[in-house]
Amino acid sequence: MEIGELNKKFGINKDIVFVTGKGSFPCAELSGKHGKAVVCLYGAHVLSYVPAGEKDVLWNTSKAVFESGKPIRGGIPVCWPWFGPHATDSQKPMHGFARLLMWEVIDTSLTELNERVIKLKLTDSQESRALWPYAFEAVFTVTLGKTLKVELSVTNTSDEVFSYTDALHTYFSVADVSQISILGLKGASYYDGTDKMALKVQDETFLKIEKEENRRYLNTAADCIIDDPLMKRHIKVTKENSNTTVVWNPWIETSKTIGDMNDDDYKTMVCVEAVNAFNEVVTVRPGESFAMSASISIG
């Protein structure tokens, strides 16, 4: 759908406006007294979340690529129907195909609580079935209110059971990653992606990032808080129906191997991701749905 048509059908005053973004991808700008969020229809990718009077909570890089078939670095990539590399076929795209396809707008609204809501839909196509053989309807809902809530809901529209893993792979913007602390994961066990997936337990209350980290925490639905003393803010991440949390920072050497990141980009970002993966695979029967969500707020 053209931008003009999107605005005619789904635009609401100055509250929800469609614009042409980078790479000519259509984007929805949600604005109001609570702040502003930008959602790219390619990948149902939230690019920006600026709470009123704040700096962007989401991290982006000048090196991000906005091209069909390539994932966008930064913001909130939606990883689905698998997280990480495909389990049996390394030719299939990393983190699934949801972030590589154009989603369709199905609804926009303003709520009594002054929230701005947009719903995007992705259904199976020849392209998706070549990678994953099921019929599905995925709906991604972004609600901008006192928090930014993002929800991925998947309905199984095929006639057989399917399983998937997923992630809301959120990149948070921080002043200096070596100065932040992440709270909420004390006592949780995790696979250490930087140490051959060794199973470890986090003893510390405050997780400090002082080297490459790729921690896949299991059996945790806990809220996480990113304490950023230099930005003088706390970012709180709460989640529903997600029992895995991933914390990722590529640090110096791995950053250099990532084409769409500047060498020093690792200093200003950290991913704290709401995930279902590893021992938390989602299974959905025909006609049934499963939804997971993350809510982000500032304190």
Active site positions, annotated:
169, 273
Of residues 144 through 163, those in contact with ligand TA6 by CB under 6 A are none
Using alpha carbons, select from 49, 81, 45 the residue that is nearest to residue 64: 45
Residue span 19-38 as binding mask against ligand TA6, x where in contact by CB under 6 A, dash where not: --------------------
If the CB atoms of residues 60 and 155 are measured against ligand TA6, the closer one turns out to be: 60
- The minimum distance between CB 260 and ligand TA6, in angstroms, equals 8
* Alpha carbons 124 and 133: distance in angstroms, whole number: 9
Is residue 215 a contact residue for ligand TA6 (CB under 6 A)?
no
- 27 in Cβ contact with 124 (< 8 Å): no
- The minimum distance between CB 85 and ligand TA6, in angstroms, equals 9
**Chosen residue from 21, 35, 71, 96 binding ligand TA6 by CB under 6 A:** 71
Of residues 79 through 138, those in contact with ligand TA6 by CB under 6 A are 84, 94-95
**Chosen residue from 56, 166, 228, 273 binding ligand TA6 by CB under 6 A:** 273
Is residue 214 a contact residue for ligand TA6 (CB under 6 A)?
yes
- The minimum distance between CB 246 and ligand TA6, in angstroms, equals 5
Using alpha carbons, select from 169, 170, 207 the residue that is nearest to residue 186: 207
Q: How many residues bind ligand TA6 (CB under 6 A)?
A: 11
If the CB atoms of residues 23 and 193 are measured against ligand TA6, the closer one turns out to be: 193
If the CB atoms of residues 109 and 194 are measured against ligand TA6, the closer one turns out to be: 194
Two structure tokens written together for 198? 């060794």
- The minimum distance between CB 258 and ligand TA6, in angstroms, equals 6
If the CB atoms of residues 88 and 257 are measured against ligand TA6, the closer one turns out to be: 257
**Chosen residue from 37, 188, 225, 246 binding ligand TA6 by CB under 6 A:** 246
**Chosen residue from 25, 248, 251, 278 binding ligand TA6 by CB under 6 A:** 248
Residue span 169-188 as binding mask against ligand TA6, x where in contact by CB under 6 A, dash where not: x-------------------
- The minimum distance between CB 204 and ligand TA6, in angstroms, equals 20
Using alpha carbons, select from 179, 182, 293 the residue that is nearest to residue 234: 182
If the CB atoms of residues 95 and 119 are measured against ligand TA6, the closer one turns out to be: 95
- Residues within the interface to ligand TA6 (CB under 6 A): 71, 84, 94-95, 169, 193, 214, 246, 248, 271, 273
